[in-house]
C-alpha cells in the first residue's frame, strides 16, 4: 500500500470517529445548573472540550488506519480481485 492510500484511509477513519466522539460528555445549557450566558441557545453545550475530542479522534483513527494498512499489506483484505 502506498502513502496516498494510507492517508485516504486515515481521513475516512478520522471523520467517522470524529462524529462518533462528538457527543461524548456533552452537557447542554439547560442540563447545567448555571448556563453562564444569558440569551444563549439552550441546546448549546456548556463545555465542548474540542481539543480533547480532536486528540482522542486522531489517536483512534491512527489505530484504525494502522490495522487497515496491516490487513491490506498482509493480504487478508484484497480489493484487487
Question: Could you report the per-residue pLDDT of 25-56, keeping only the tens digit for each?
Answer: 888 777 777 766 677 777 778 888 899 999 99
Interatomic CA distance for residues 28 and 37, integer angstroms: 12
The DSSP secondary-structure symbol of 28 reads B
Mean pLDDT of the chain: 88
**Res. 1 pLDDT band, cuts 50 70 90:** confident
Q: Which residue has the cell 484487487?
A: 80
Amino acid at each position: 500500500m502506498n502513502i496516498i492510500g494510507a492517508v485516504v484511509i486515515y481521513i475516512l477513519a478520522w471523520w467517522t470517529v470524529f462524529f462518533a466522539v462528538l457527543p461524548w460528555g456533552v452537557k447542554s445549557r439547560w442540563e447545567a445548573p448555571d448556563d453562564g450566558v444569558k440569551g444563549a441557545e439552550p441546546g448549546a453545550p456548556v463545555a465542548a472540550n474540542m481539543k480533547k475530542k480532536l486528540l482522542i479522534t486522531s489517536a483512534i483513527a491512527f489505530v484504525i488506519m494502522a490495522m487497515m494498512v496491516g490487513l491490506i499489506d498482509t493480504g487478508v483484505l484484497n480489493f484487487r480481485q
